[in-house]
Amino acid sequence: MRKVLLLVLLSFLCFYQGTFAQEVIKHEQKMYINPVNNRIYQHVKLPVYVFISNTPNKQDAVGMSQTDNAAQKNELTPCYLDGEGKHTIRHEDEIEHQSIKFFVWADGTAPKSTVEFKGAQTYKNATTRFYGPGLTVSLKSTDAISGVEQLYQSVNAVAYTPYQSDIDFGKENEYLLKFYAADHVGNMENVHDYKFTVDTSTPETMHKIDGLAQNDIICKYTKITLEASDKLSGVAKTFYQLDNSAVVLYPGGPIPLAQLTDGNHTLTYFSLDNVGNKENAKEYKFYLDKEAPVTIPELIGDQYKNDLATYVSGRTKVQLTASDNKSGVKRITYSIDNAEFQEYTAPFVVPQTGGAHVIRYVAEDNMTNSSSGVTSTKSLRLFVDMRPPVASHRFSGAQFSSRDTLFIREDTDLSLLATDEGSGIHHIGYKIDGGNEQKFEKPINITKEGMHKVTYTAYDNVNNAQTKEVTFIVDNTGPVIYEHFSILPIRVEAGLDVYPPYVMIFLAATDGATGSKTIYYRINNAQKKVYNGNIVGLPKNSEITVDIEAEDQLGNKVEKSFKFKTE
């Protein structure tokens, strides 16, 4: 069987696509070989020329004619594929009676692209499609035969570029999105175009006051209405909330205020547009005046409140403030401990006697409406605290007093104490040797030797204070030990002095601060004894080790040892 290698070469034609707002990219009608399966795809409108070669090298290929008449010139003539899909170029072997097929796929259909708008709320009015914040656009394209070569995009007349990933439309603007795809043989779909507007702006809502109002004080007949506007997709809904009540849809018209009590209130409101942009909530704080003037007592200065009473110092003042949203406040009068009422003109000092006191007050407006309050509740009952705390201190641990001087060690604890019969202790502050004040929280230990002064102040809860000080000496050093023999050594042996057995040893200890308290000694690891005069009766012909321990009045200890011989 003769084997013939046919090489099919396809030529290329070019065409122009009409422009829309900007020129689309030119895509030639062409042949495409799939690199995965080596399939040949041919644009359906292009001619097909058939060449024959004895080698895989197409450079020596010879074009084939469609006639077998030897009298005619062998002219290179094309054929055309009749319709899309798989086509066969067939070789009929007249000798072996075999049929050899070569395949080519014709493609005349453009890809089909789709678009997905996602991540944003949408709304369409009579003329415009709107999208809210967060919009991204995803493009997809498919082709049934040769496959999609490239998908192209253009936004707002910018030159077409290959589509790579989702397109971000995060900024507010009007947009014209165009896109199309071309397949591997040059089929190009018609351009898709989508015109839309991205709206990221929030609506704006304002409140209007109709009726009596002055400095955000309104009466029960005043009307509050809301007006909302939006420059793009339009207002969808408006909501409002009064104080801590539920957020409700604003239906239009005056907001009902009848259920509100006399006093301060907050109207919170906001709007949504048709693509989900939410306005930051606005607040209108107002005082709804339904009744007579309101008087508010206020303490200026030292004060402390617990479950029993409100404590103040003799420096504390009482301030009375009255407000009225209609005719205005005419006057305020007050009484202390059932005395006659007097006119209030400025903050006044609390009674200068310690103990419980009651203050009554009355405010009257120009329309003779009046309101009063009696300080009978525990939140308004005043207890005047005139006495400072009682401060004291305590040492725990080693300490020694000599005349007017106190000696302590570094491990001696200094505790600061305070009591108060009124508002109670707030804290105790202290300074060491004039340093910065610290808050006392745990026993104080001072390690540095020498004279020290601790100044401490006890504060009660209304800033009454008492200051005291304590002076002392920190002694962490033990005594200095001295030893003395009653006679001189007879000789020296092996580096040790030699004495007769009747020698006497005298011990002494001195301390620069508290003085020596006790001296202990022991001979050759015998039982420790208290030294009370001298050491006699030493063993003969012995090497003797004397261990000495001295202690001062604070318990600071030192030790010393020495050796000698007796004959």
DSSP reduced 3-state for 324: coil
pLDDT at 7: 32
**For 124-163, what is each residue's pLDDT tens digit?**
999 999 999 999 999 999 999 999 999 999 999 999 999 9
**Sign of dihedral through CA atoms 338, 340, 346, 352?**
negative
- The answer on pLDDT for 3 being more than 70 is no
- The answer on pLDDT for 538 being more than 50 is yes
d(CA 360, CA 375): 6
Choose among 556, 509, 507, 561: nearest CA to 534: 507
Strands (E), 136-189: 136-142, 148-155, 161-162, 167-168, 173-183
- Say what the alpha-carbon torsion angle 68, 72, 74, 77 is, to the nearest 10 degrees: -80
Count the residues in the chain: 567
- The answer on pLDDT for 292 being more than 50 is yes
pLDDT at 1: 31
Residue partners of 11: CB distance under 8 A and separation at least 6 = 46, 47, 49
Q: CA separation (Å) from 280 to 129, 230, 243, 486?
A: 24, 14, 17, 102
d(CA 333, CA 371): 11
Choose among 41, 17, 42, 40: nearest CA to 27: 17
Residue partners of 279: CB distance under 8 A and separation at least 6 = 202, 203, 204, 205, 270, 271, 272
Helices (H), 367-412: none
Residue written as token pair 């656009």: 137
What's the whole-number mean pLDDT along residues 32-55?
85
Q: CA separation (Å) from 462 to 1, 236, 281, 388, 544?
A: 120, 57, 42, 9, 71
- Helices (H) then strands (E): counts for the chain: 0, 51
Q: CA separation (Å) from 262 to 82, 93, 287?
A: 90, 109, 8
Phi and psi angles of residue 60, each rounded to the nearest 5 degrees, phi first:
-100, 15
pLDDT at 512: 86
Q: Which residue has the higher pLDDT, 170 or 365?
A: 170
Least confident of 209-213, 255-259, 347-351, 352-356: 209-213
Choose among 286, 290, 228, 285: nearest CA to 259: 290
Choose among 45, 25, 46, 42: nearest CA to 34: 42
pLDDT at 377: 32
**Chain centre to alpha carbon of residue 566:** 83
d(CA 481, CA 558): 8
Q: CA separation (Å) from 222 to 9, 189, 212, 270?
A: 90, 65, 6, 21
Looking at residue 350, its amino acid is V
**For 453-486, what is each residue's pLDDT tens digit?**
999 999 999 999 999 999 999 999 999 999 999 9
Q: CA separation (Å) from 42 to 56, 378, 386?
A: 20, 98, 107
Task: Please give the structure tokens belonging to residue 384.
Answer: 């005047």
Residue written as token pair 């060449």: 51
**For 489-503, what is each residue's pLDDT tens digit?**
999 999 999 999 999
Where is mean pLDDT largest: 219-223, 282-286, 320-324? Answer: 282-286
DSSP 3-state helix, strand, coil percentages of the chain (rounded to 5)?
0, 55, 45
Residue written as token pair 């023999």: 485
- Say what the alpha-carbon torsion angle 160, 161, 162, 164 is, to the nearest 10 degrees: -120
What's the whole-number mean pLDDT along residues 191-201?
97
**For 424-445, what is each residue's pLDDT tens digit?**
999 999 999 999 999 999 999 9
Task: Please give the structure tokens belonging to residue 243.
Answer: 């104080």
Query: Is 518 within 8 Å of 528 (Cβ atoms)?
Result: no
d(CA 467, CA 458): 7
Task: Please give the structure tokens belonging to residue 90.
Answer: 């067939």
DSSP character at residue 29? B
Task: Please give the structure tokens belonging to residue 532.
Answer: 């009370």
- The answer on pLDDT for 524 being more than 90 is yes
pLDDT at 347: 96
**For 363-388, what is each residue's pLDDT tens digit?**
886 544 566 654 433 335 799 999 99
pLDDT at 145: 93
